[in-house]
Amino acid sequence: MIERTLVLIKKDGLERGLVGKITTRFEDAGFKIVGSKMVQVDEEFAKKHYTEDLAKRRGEHVRKYLTEFIKSGPVIVYVLEGVHAIENVRKMVGETEPRAARPGTIRGDFAHVSYAHCDNKKQVVKNLIHASADKKDAEYEVKLWFKPEELCSYKRVDEVHTL
Ligand code: IDP
Ligand code: MG
């Protein structure tokens, strides 16, 4: 039940100075940061993260906007560990479209744009954060972004209360 999931704070999160606030939410919920770094990716890497599968789901144009966006500045990357971490972190992140994201979620509290607005502007939906969608994606993404030796092991004091 203890899982690891990959979180990226995307360029808009960095530019808006929200790294601390976003990180605090996960720490407050008891998730353990087991991997952390700031990375500037290139086109090749961006396409490994935003795979063909995304183009199939969302359209080739979305994959193109996203690849451009993710390589246009650095991202903060975390591996978070916790009970049902994949599902729980997605719940905290909220819906993809900030307009639809509930208050209390990261996207709902810190953004509000819509698909229609972004389509008009021919740009990616700026929703601050990426989190692995499911077990398969989490395994793939953690391996893609981190070497095994970059992931650390330690105990948080509140593990006593959650595990
Ligand atoms: P997710 O981030 O909630 O898992 P995905 O479907 O995996 O959503 O899409 C990846 C990212 O692509 C989204 O977070 C958002 O930034 C962007 N995106 C998705 N759909 C659209 C769209 O229709 N127009 C522009 N950007 C989109
Ligand atoms: Mg996704």
Residue 148 CB burial class (10 angstroms; 0-12, 13-18, ≥19) = exposed
Confidence of residue 49 (pLDDT cuts 50, 70, 90): very high
Q: Which pTM does this prediction carry?
A: 0.96
Domains defined for the chain, CATH in brackets: 2-150 (3.30.70.141)
- Phi/psi at 124 (5° precision): -65, 150
Closest CA to 91 of 8, 14, 26, 11: 26
131 close to ligand 1 (CB < 6 Angstrom): no
pLDDT tens track for 80-104: 999 999 999 999 999 999 999 999 9
d(CA 4, ligand 1 centre) in Å: 22
Checking if the pLDDT of 72 tops 90, the result is yes
For the annotated catalytic residues, the residue numbers are: 130
What is the number of other CB atoms lying within 10 angstroms of the CB of residue 84?
Answer: 13
The CB of 106 under 6 Å from ligand 1? The reply is no
